[in-house]
Amino acid sequence: MGERKWHAEWAHLPTGLARDVVFVVDGGRFVAVTSGVPAQQAAADGAERLPGVVLPGLANCHSHAFHRALRGRTHHGGGTFWTWREGMYAVASRLDPASYLGLARATYAEMALAGVTAVGEFHYLHHQLEGTPYDDPNAMGQALIQAAAEAGVRLTLLDTLYLSGGLTADGHVPLEGPQLRFGDGDVQRWAERVSGLSDHTSGGPAHLRLGGAIHSVRAVPRDQLALVPDCGVADGTDPLHIHLSEQPAENEATLAAHGLTPTQLLAEEGVLAPNLTAVHATHLTETDIGLLGSAHATACFCLTTERDLADGIGPARALADAGVRLSLGSDQHAVIDLIEEARALEMHERLDSLQRGRFSPGELLAAATAHDTIGWPDAGRLEVGARADLVAVRLDSPRTAGSDPAQVLLSATAADVDTVIVDGQVVVTDGRHRLEDGRRLGAQLAEAIEPLWEGAH
């Protein structure tokens, strides 16, 4: 592509907020980052102007792309997490590789509009309706890979182990109904299927990173948990994620079946490690928090989902104080706005503790840019050598006008994202995605979602 230059009046560099910054990009990476360059001089040197304040690319570390079809569809009669899950299963039963491609492409484009440059996709929608593999056993995963490429974001495909339909005091129950699409039978067959994929570290697509996920201790029996770390899907350097203690019912079932909390069970089976991300981590004991901290694990908070599903407020500050890294995700996409997820990390703590300033703006930005937790350690920083991801957030919108650029995460929303650059490629300009040539993204999303609800009540 050749060298390109951009100038930002304000930018969040690793050293803090800087003024009049010129970014020089070549080969998809920053080759120079220089502050104190006046706009007029930068323009004379060929730099393109970026409005507002520039952030590193945001990392959406927990996504279920097909859940985007549930937005605005699950609130009748109030309901619970478990009734919401029935709606999710209904959507899951209607998707095939072609329709999944359309839905995921538009969903990932919506993420790009919100400043997301990489997404961790917790992928368990694997097979045909009765659990029979497609001719290509990874056809659904391939649809996600293509969708991310077309939407212009990097993808970490967290291929998910899902073996049982739930957990009771008497043990695990079999998969049934739509769940049959999720299962591979055991860890060995799961690993064999995943071995058919390759990422950028082994000659695969440049935008792809592979990792693994354990759906939950409800969905994977204890004798299979211990096999995961050494099965070849996610070794000590690959990302491994798990839904952990999202609901009190999960804790109660695990205690009844094993006499342990879910976190204690993972510790006993050797799953807790620095490459593990515990998603939600909402209902934890002090012992659980200590175990996660001792393992130097990550906790991924999905705050707009956790409040949408009435999951509760997780112990984010306590986890961070224990040495747990924090990341963020939009999960079921009731909202796709990583700025809002970051702000909610602080606001939920305020509601729970009755104190302000639980997280500094710098800590919120670190959680929103935790690319290394989904396998991209060279992203998430505006510095020489890093991947050239930039997100320009306007400072002249009705929401951000008058804001201190250092505190923009406390005032902006995804609607204020103006420009998004991923690996040196411009994906969003003037708040519009490059896929929106003649058709707005909302129309593309509606086209993908509405057929999934035809005939539903």
Query: Which residues contact residue 76 at a Cβ distance below 8 angstroms, ignoring those fewer than 6 apart?
Result: none
DSSP code for 331: B
Residue with tokens 């120079």: 32
Distance CA 308, CA 449 (A): 20
Are 10 and 19 in contact by the 8 Å Cβ rule? The answer is yes
- Helical spans, DSSP H, in 269-358: 286-294, 303-308, 316-321, 338-353
Distance CA 9, CA 53 (A): 7
Report residue 76 as tokens. Answer: 């009748």
Query: Residue 441: which of 165, 222, 236, 150 has the closest Cα?
Result: 150
Report residue 294 as tokens. Answer: 């001792």
Q: How many residues does the chain have?
A: 457
Helices 139-151 and 97-113, axial angle in degrees (round to 10): 30
**Is residue 182 classed exposed, middle or buried when 0-12, 13-18 and 19+ CB atoms within 10 A define those classes?**
buried
Q: Is 227 helix (H, G, I), strand (E, B) or coil?
A: coil
Question: Would you name the residues annotated as active-site residues?
Answer: 280, 331
- Helical spans, DSSP H, in 309-337: 316-321
Report residue 64 as tokens. Answer: 């279920």
Report residue 114 as tokens. Answer: 């919100």
Q: What are phi and psi of 269, to 5 degrees?
A: -95, 10
Q: Which long-range contacts (CB under 8 A, 24 or more apart) does 257-261 make?
A: 257/167, 257/168, 257/169, 257/170, 257/171, 258/222, 261/285, 261/287, 261/288
Strand order in the sheet with 298-301: 58-63, 116-123, 154-161, 208-214, 240-244, 276-280, 298-301, 325-328
Residue with tokens 């072609």: 98
Distance CA 67, CA 218 (A): 20
Are 222 and 258 in contact by the 8 Å Cβ rule? The answer is yes
Are 391 and 54 in contact by the 8 Å Cβ rule? The answer is yes
